[in-house]
Structure 1
Amino acid sequence: MKAALLTAPNDLVLAELPVPALESGDLLIRVRAATICGTDIRIFRGRKTAGVRYPSILGHEFAGEVVDTGGCSGLSSGDRVALCPAISCGHCHLCKTGRENLCTNGQAVGYEIDGAFAEFIRIPAQAVAAGNIRKLPDGTGFDEAALAEPLACVLNGQEKVGVSAGDVVLILGAGPIGLLHVYLARLRGAARIIVSDPNAHRREAAMTGGADATIDPRNEDITVRVREETAGMGATVVICAIGVPALARQASDLTAHGGRISLFAGFSKGEMAEMDVNAIHYNEITVTGAFGLSRRDYDRAFDMIAGRRMDVRGLITHRYGLDSTLEAFETAESGEAIKVAILND
């Protein structure tokens, strides 16, 4: 099979590899669509190294067709499916208390387990038995189903920071994750959504997606603009949707008294940031992190997409074949795209 193989940081090559061999209970899927995540780019560029092995196949946002069921009941060859890639152990304290996204005994599809930037992917029996596979209903495309995973992460983040009806939400960053935050905050009843991003194309996409106002932080004073947009109060929720540590300090300056901050985006190990601890203390600001997704998050996100409660199709702006994976990564990294999909016809 063809696969985009990461042999070292910054070294992504198209390789011919054997089709993955299955063990009892494993599932073999022909990948039809896989989308590029910011985490994929961070691994590619060597900014995320924990747990990463070389060589490996990246890609954890995907959907495809069952080729070999491995004897799994309830699935047949040709079934159109997507995968929740959070493969937790299921028996540690974190899993038992509903925090399986933080399980330290689990495995990550896309580097610990070879991922979806390939013609075929093996799904471990553990994930199949745990119910991580979802069948696509008629009318749901492979590429949009691939976006259930990032939407599930956004759901987790907004649950943690408590986005609810009436909130004034400020989203720092309008990449694909920032835009999903816009979509979801609107669906959850936010009273006002403000988005800051230096990219004009992405600011326009934020407005189309439901934002009430956008800010160009390179040419505008974001503090002044946020105060203008919030009658001087600041935002009740600030979401850092891009992994720039300096935004953490900025977030504490832009949050209303009693407000909440989500450090949602992934940061590189060892990165540090200053925050206004005086404001956090005296203004009673809550700061929370958000990592990954649970199967519950994934199921909710999948159902939202499959049921058209959220239409994510417009987020995919560029599509490439597997042979052009490196070009697809460069496009995703350039900022000219929103979401980039790699398709196998």
Structure 2
Amino acid sequence: MIVKAALLTAPDALVLTELPVPALESGDVLIRVRAATICGTDIRIFRGRKTAGIRYPSVLGHEFAGEVVDAGGNPHLGAGDRVALCPAISCGRCHLCKTGRENLCKDGQAVGYEIDGAFAEFIRIPARAVAAGNIRKLPETTGFDEAALAEPLACVLNGQEKVGVTAGDVVLVLGAGPIGLLHVYLARLRGAAKIIVSDPNAHRRDAAMTGGADVTIDPRAEDVAARVAEETAGMGATVVICAIGVPALARQASDLVAHGGRISLFAGFSKGEMAEMDVNAIHYNEITVTGAFGLSRRDYDRAFDMIAGRGMDVRGLITHRYGLDSIVEAFKTAESGGAIKVAIIND
């Protein structure tokens, strides 16, 4: 059987092609992809700004949900089950895995990277991931497209735990793309006293206000530092989250954070980019700087349960939907700034 897939053959070369249905090994599961959303990292890979570990040709797509076609003999799954998947597959044996940092596992693999991903009609889930419990069954009330957002929400959960967002914080989010908006949603749920968002895109600033922000700033038209000082009685934000991979924002964050505050360098940067930070401010003002990469199965399970249980309603983030035949147009829309989250839908 021949099926459609979007094959990345080189930077800037995403080709809709036909491939055989993925062949299964013992214990593997075959899923018909029903919805897959485009991540900022997918765009960076597509445009050649992220090349480490990337295969050519390969199929991208790590945020997805679908229906089981072949359960591979797994007793807890059956054909027709509606499912979503944690795409990170750790080894489970190394020191990092055993100490709760499986997202940093050096022997790990990920769907959409080492394993062909979800911008296709069908996807193979390795037995290793199935046995580890990476597949979750969807309730009938949860749409495939919203379930696909469990992965980015899980990454945001990881980031906010690392930087310690808690009740009473004044949180400044730099960048109001899909990830920045998820940070707004989650910071509101965690009891932030005030949420400030800076983004040059008016559409995204409006989305931030709808999602729970108290204040938005247009950095092209306003002095961000002056506005943050005004909104925080001169103290600065207790937490600053860099939710877009612009190196200059790292330096800006150290100027905007309160004494004793915390900075999350959440977003990924392109290969070779460097950032300056005020090391004296970090030292004398006792600023904590954290990184955040990826997700663990624990993060994914929590995010999945939040979405499936309507603890967080992410449906409004999906502003554009395309069929797989329009994958290149979908990528262009996702990077244009005119969308929030773009989904590829296989009906």
TM over 0.5: yes
Equivalent in the alignment of 2:339: 337
Q: Equivalent residue for 1:64? A: 66
Partner amino acid, structure 1, of 2:62: H
Q: Which residue of 2 aligns with 1:100?
A: 102
Which residue matches 1:19? 21
Aligned with residue 274 of structure 1, among 264, 276, 289:
276
Structure 2 CA distance for aligned equivalents of residues 108 and 49 of structure 1: 15
Counterpart of 1:41 in structure 2 is 43
Match of 1:115 in 2: 117
Number of residues of Structure 1 aligned to a counterpart in Structure 2: 345
**1:168 is aligned with what amino acid?**
V
Structure 1: segments with no counterpart, 5+ residues: none
Structure 2 partner of 1:234: 236
- Tell me the equivalent position of 1:196: 198
Distance 1:87 1:325 in 2: 26
The answer on 1:50 being equivalent to 2:52 is: yes
Q: How does 1:1-345 map to 2 (within 5 A)?
A: 1-345=3-347
What SS does structure 1 have at the residue aligned with 2:78? coil
- 1:206-262, Cα deviation, whole Å (9 max, x unpaired): 000000000000110000000001110000000000000000000000000000000
Paired-residue identity, %: 90
Can you give the 5+ residue segments of structure 2 that lack an aligned partner in the other structure? none
Q: In structure 1, the residue corresponding to 2:7 is in which secondary structure? A: strand
RMSD after superposition: 0.4
| Matches of 1:3 and 1:124, distance apart in 2 | 18
Q: Which aligned runs of 4 or more in structure 1 are off by greater than 2 angstroms?
A: none
1:66 aligned counterpart, secondary structure: strand
**Secondary structure at 1:116's aligned position in 2?**
coil
Structure 1 counterpart of 2:117, one-letter code: G
The 3-state SS of whatever aligns with 1:95 is: helix
Counterpart secondary structure, 2:153: helix
Deviation, structure 1 residue 269: 2.2
SS in 1 for 2:20: coil
Following superposition, the deviation at residue 270 of structure 1 comes to 1.8
Q: CA deviation at 1:268?
A: 1.5
Q: Give TM-score scaled by structure 2 length.
A: 0.99
Partners of 1:266 and 1:73 in 2: CA distance: 38
Which of 263-272 and 290-299 deviates more? 263-272
Instruction: Report the CA distance between 1:66 and its aligned residue.
Output: 0.1
Residues in 1 aligned to 2:209 and 2:41: alpha-carbon distance in whole angstroms:
25
In the alignment, the residues of structure 1 paired with residue 71 and residue 276 of structure 2 have an alpha-carbon distance, to the nearest angstrom, of: 50
Please say which of residues 265-274 and 75-84 is displaced more in the overlay.
265-274
Instruction: Tell me the TM-score normalized by structure 1.
Output: 1.00
Give the residue type in structure 2 aligned to 1:239.
Answer: I
Q: Deviations over 1:155-211 (max 9, x none)?
A: 000000000000000000000000000000000000000000000000000000000
Q: Secondary structure at the match of 1:110?
A: coil
Letter in 2 for 1:328: A
CA distance in structure 2 between the aligned counterparts of 1:101 and 1:226, rounded to whole angstroms = 33
Distance in 1 between residues matched to 2:40 and 2:75, nearest whole Å = 35
- The letter of the residue matching 2:51 is T
Q: What is the identity, as a one-letter code, of the residue corresponding to 1:152?
A: A
Superposed displacement of residue 112, structure 1: 1.0
Q: For residues 286-312 of structure 1, give each alpha carbon's deviation from its aligned partner in whole angstroms, at most 9, with x where no partner exists.
A: 000000000000000000000001000
* Structure 2 Cα separation of the partners of residues 136 and 241 of structure 1: 28
Report the Cα offset of residue 108 of structure 1: 1.6
Report the residue type matching 2:108 in the other structure: G
Matched position secondary structure for 1:56: coil
How far 1:111 sits from its partner (Å)?
A: 2.3
Aligned residue type for 1:44: F
Paired with 1:129 and 1:274, the residues of 2 have a C-alpha distance of 43
Shift of 1:73: 1.2
